Structure 1
Amino acid sequence: MRIQEYLQKHRLVTDGAMGTYYAKIRNDDYAVCENALIEEPEIIRQIHIEYLKAGAKLIRTNTFMANRPALKITKEELVYLLKRGCEIAKEARIESNCDAFLAGDIGPIPEFARDEELDIIAQYKEIIDVFLSQDLDAILFETFSDDRYFGELSRYIKEKSPTTFVITQFCLNKSGYTSNGIRADKLLARAAARKEIDAVGFNCGISSGHMVKLIRNFQLPRNKYLMISPNAGYPEQMQNRLIYLDNASFFTGNMKKVLDSGVSIVGACCGTTPSYIRGIAKLIDNYPPVVLEENPKQTLYNLDSSQMPKDNIRNLSEISISTKKITELLKEGRKVIAVELDPPFDAEDTKILECAKKLSQLRHIDVITLADSPSGRSRIDSILMSIKLNSQTHMRVMPHLCCRDKNMIAMRSAILGAYINGIRNLLLVTGDPVPRDGRTLSSGVFDYNSIRLMEFVKEMNTEHFSQDPFVYGGALNPNGVNVDKIIERMEKKMAAGASYFLTQPIYSDEGIERIQLLKEKTGAKILCGIMPLVSYTNACFIKNEFAGIEVPDEVVNRYHKDMSREEAELVAANLANELIEKLWEIADGFYFMLPFNRVSLMDKIKIEKPHR
C-alpha cells in the first residue's frame, strides 16, 4: 500500500526524535547520531523498533545530517552512510514485525557564501538518488527555513519515481516565521501550488503549545496533507547538558488539538521519546481521514493580520532619514553621488563627524555610505555610525551590511534596528574574508551570500516594511574574467530586489567599456566607483595588494615618491575628473571611495556634464 492510499482511510503517526533520544541514551549531548549508523548501528535499530512498537506507522531514516559538508565526508562515504540508514530502518521494521512506511530523511545542507546554488542542488540530488535506489515510500525534507530548492527537487523526485510521497517541513519560531524571515502561510501557499509535493508542514523550532496557537491562526491548504512535528518543549542548559521536560501527557493533549485542526500526519521532534508517540497513537484511531480537494476554489485562506503573531513595528515613515531614497533620485535621471567614509577603529569619532559635516556643505553630494568593517578589521558598526552621522548632519546615509559577521538572527535584529532609526538605503555585500592573522581569534560567519541577504531583506520589506520599504543595492566588480558570470550574478541580485550597483574603482578604458557592456546586457542602474589615489605609495599599494582592482601602470606613473600632498591630491582630482568625463554618458552616478577619508578631494573634483 502506498502512503497516498493509506491517508485516504486513516491519519498517520510518525516517529519522534532520533538525535536527542540517541544523545540521551549515550548521555552525550554532542553525540552525532548519523555516525552511529557505522559505529553503533544496534542503538539506532533499537530506537527505530521502540518507535514502531509505540505505534509509529512511518519512520524516518537516521540521515537528517547525512550530507558531505555537515559530516565532512566524501561522496562515496555519504552513499554508504545513506544506504546503511535505509538498511537499518528496514531491519527494524522486520524485527519489530510492525507494518510501517519508510521515509528517507533529508535536512538542510549547510551553505556558505562561496557556494553556488547549482552545486547545492546537485548535492541534494545525490542524496535523493540513493533513497530512490532503496525503494523507500517517501522522501522527507525537514527543518528547512525556506523553499528555494523544493520546486526543482520535488520535480526531480516525481520524474524518477511518480509514486514516491514527497513531504516538506519548515522550522518556525514562536512568531510564525522561519529564520529566513518567511511567514508560515506563505510557505503553505507556495507548497500548495506545487503539484509534485504531497504533504507540507512544520517541525522543530517550537513546542506543541506554540504549534497549536500558530496553526489555529490560519486555515490549512485543502489540496495538500499537512504534517506537524513539534518539539517536546524548550530545553534548559544544566551543567553542559540540554534538559527537556518529560511532558508526554501535556504534549499528547496539544496534539489532540492539532488533529482537531485537520492535520493528517502527526509526529514529534527534539526532546521527544517513544512515550510521546505512544500517546499520539492512542488518539489517532478516533479521527477520520482528511479528504483533500483537488481543485479548491481557494487553496489557502490568507492569514488574518490581526491574528498572526508579528514583530511590533511602528509605521515610522515619518522619521525617514532622507526626503528621497536613492531609487527616487535615479528615476529623476540625475547623477547620484555617493561618498564612502570608513568608520573609525576606536571610539574616537571626531574626525569622521568633521568629514561628514564637510560633505554636508557640498550640495552635489547625495548620500554618505559607511563601510561594514572592510578587510575584516573591526570598526564602529556601520548602522550605528550612520545614525549618528545623520543626527549630526541630516545627510542621507547608506550603511553597508556584509554577511561575514552575523548569522540571520543577528542580521534581522540589525535590519530592524536600522529601520526604526529611519534608515531606508542599504548596500548589501558578501564581505571581505577575515584576515589570516585573526583566524585564531575569530572566524567569518558567511552562512549566506549577498544574494540570499537581498532575498531576506526583500521578504522583510513585504512582511514588515511594505508602506515604506528599504531600497538596497549590491556590489559590482566589473573586472572579472568571465563576463557572462558577472551578468548572471547581476541578474540574480536584481531578481532579489537590488535596485542599483556600486562598482569597484575603475581606472582604465577597458573597465569603462566593461561597464557599458554590463549596462547594455542587464539594464542595471550603476554608480561607477572612483577612488582618487592620494600618493605614490597609495597608488602602488592599491595596484599590488588589492585583488579585483586593476590600476594601469600609466596611472601609477603619474605619481612620484617626492611629490607633496597638494601635488598628489591635484593628480588624484585630475584623474577623477578625466574618469567622470569618460563615464558621464554611461554612469547613473558616481561612488567615491576616499583613502583615509580625505574629503578635501571633493573640493577639487568637478561633477558636471562635460562640455564637448
Structure 2
Amino acid sequence: MKPDLREALRQRILVGDGAMGTYLYQMGFPVGISYEELNLLKPDVIENVHRLYYEAGARLIETNTFSANREKLSKYGLEQEVEAINRAGVALARQAVGPDAYVVGAIGSIRAGKRKNVRTAKVKEDLRQQIEVLTDTAVDGILLESFYDLEELLIAVKLIRRISTLPVICQFASEGTGTTQDGIALQDAFHMLLDSGADVVGFNCRSGPVGLLRSLEKVAGMNEAPPFSVFPNAGIPDYVDGRYTYAATPQYFGETAKRFADLGARIVGGCCGTTPEHIAAMASALEGYIPNPEALMQLETASGVTETIRVVREPSPAAVKETDEPNLVELAKRRHTVIVELDPPRDLDIAKFMEGAQALKHAKVDALTMADNSLAVTRMSNLALGSLVKERTGIRPLIHIACRDRNMIGTQSHMMGLHALGIDHVLAVTGDPARFGDLPGSSSVYDLTSFEIIRMIKQLNEGVAFSGKPLKKKANFVIGAAFNPNVKYLDKAVQRLERKIEAGADYIMTQPVYNAELIERIYEATKHLSVPIFLGIMPLASGNNAEYLHNEVPGIQLSDEVRRRMQGLKGEEGRAMGVQIARELLDTAMAYFNGIYLMTPFLAYEMTVQLTNYVWEKAGRRDFHLSPLAK
C-alpha cells in the first residue's frame, strides 16, 4: 500500500503529469469548447490522456476539472453539471493509472487574474461547490493551480480546511517576478498559505522553465522551506496559420528538471504545451536523483544583465532637425543599412530608453524599431515612444503593428494616428497570443492576419479606408513583414514570405539567426525576391539567456556551437562573448545582405551600439566616427 501524499513527498520527488487542454487541442479538439465536458462526452479520450502521462512516468495525476466550476461552465450552459463533471473527472483519472499513482483534484482560479470580474461572495460559493464535490471522491489531495491573487487562493485553502484534511497543493501562475499579481511578496504569500493549511506551494503556467526557475529562486531560501511544486509551460507559444505551437523540447525539460529539484521542488510536472514526451524526459532525468547542495549558489538569472537606470538630459526639440533621407528600402539598395530594436519599458520610466535612443543616434543607426507588446507583455505604447524618439533625437522610428490587440476599427485608427505624426515605417506582425502574456484574461483580437493587415495598410496608401470609403489624402506607409528562417523547411517559409510580398510588403525583417551557414542558405533561398531583407542579429547576454532563447522562445534557434561557447557565461563575460559571436555573424551577413536588423537584449544598448559601430567600420562608411561608448 502506498504512503499518503504528504509522506511520499518527504521520501522522494514525484513527477507530475503534463498539459490536458493544450494536449487535447493538439489532438484536434478546438478552442472554444469545454474540455471538462469531455469527461462526459468523450470519457475514453480523457482516460487515455491520463494513461499516456502515467506510462510516461507521472505519478501525480491531475483530474480534468480545472475549469469545472459553476462560473466557467456557465459559459457553455453547463452550470448544472458541476457535480457530474467533477465526479467523472476523478473516476477517469483513477481508472487510467496504477495503484502507485496519486490522483489530485484540480481546481483553477475563477477570477483568472481579473480581480474585479466576479464578486467575492460568488467566488466563495462557486469554489465551495467544486471543493465539496472533489473532497467527497477518492482523490489523494487537492491541487489549486493557476491562481494569480493571494486573496482568491487563501479563500480556496480556507474552504478546504473547513471540511477536509486532504493534502493541498497551491500554485501561483508566475512570470518570474517576486510578487503575486495583487502585489504580495512571494515569500510572504507562501507563509500565509502554509499558515492557512497548505501543504505544498509553488508555480505553474505563464512561463517556461526559466521564468519558473526565477520565481523558485526567490523563495528557495525560505526559513523551514516547504515542499515546492513547479509545472512550467513548454516555452512561449507561437501562433502560425491559426495554430498554437510550443518551442521547448522534451530534452530541455529533462535538463531543467534537476535544477528545479535542486531548489527544493518535490513535485515537477508540466503545464501548457507539454506532452507525455516532456514528462518522460523529466521522469528519466529525476530517476535516482541526488540533490546538489551547491545548486542555489550556481544558479543565475536568465538575463545575465543588471540594468542600471541613468538620468540623462534630453536634447531640446528645437535642436533636432528634420531629415530628408530616403526610406529604408531605397537606403538598403544603395548601402548597408542598420535598424536597431529597443524594447519600450514595462513601467512609466523612459529615462533609460531615451538614453539608449540617444546613444544609437550618435552611432548613426538608420532606424529605431519598437515592438508592439512583444510576447504579449504590456509595455508603453510604441506609437507614443516613436513620436518622442522622432521629436527628441531625429532618428526614424519604425513601429511594429500587431494583429492581436486591435480590431479593424482600432487598427485603422492607429494607422491614421501614425500618419498624423509623420511616422511612415511600420512592421506588420501577427502578435503573440494574449492569454500567455502578463494579462492572461485579455482577449486576442486577430480580426486580421498578417497578410490582411499588409493589404489594408497598402489600401490607405491608395487613399481608401478599410471600409472601402475614399479618404481625403493618401498615406505613404513603407510596410515591413516578419520572416522566421529558423524552421525545418526553409522553402515553405519562403513561400509564405512570397505571399506577404504579394500582399504588399516593401521589405522583410527576420528573426535572429545564430548560424553562418543558415545565413548563406537564407540568401540562396531569397535572392530572387524583389524586396530588401534585413537579417536579424541579437547578441546573447549569458549562457542562461542563450538556453532560454533556444528552448523557450518561438522562432529562435541557436546552433550547437553558439550554445557551447555561451555555456556557463554570465555578466560582463557573457555579454562580451555575445557581442563577439554577433560580430562573426555580421561578417557573413554583410557579405550577403545590405539590411542589418540588430535587436537589443534587456535594454543593454551598449551592445547594439558596439555592433552598429562594427558594421560601419566594416562597411568603410566615410562619415562614421566611433561612438563614445565604443572608445
TM-score by length of 2: 0.45
Larger radius of gyration: 1
TM-score in terms of structure 1 length: 0.46
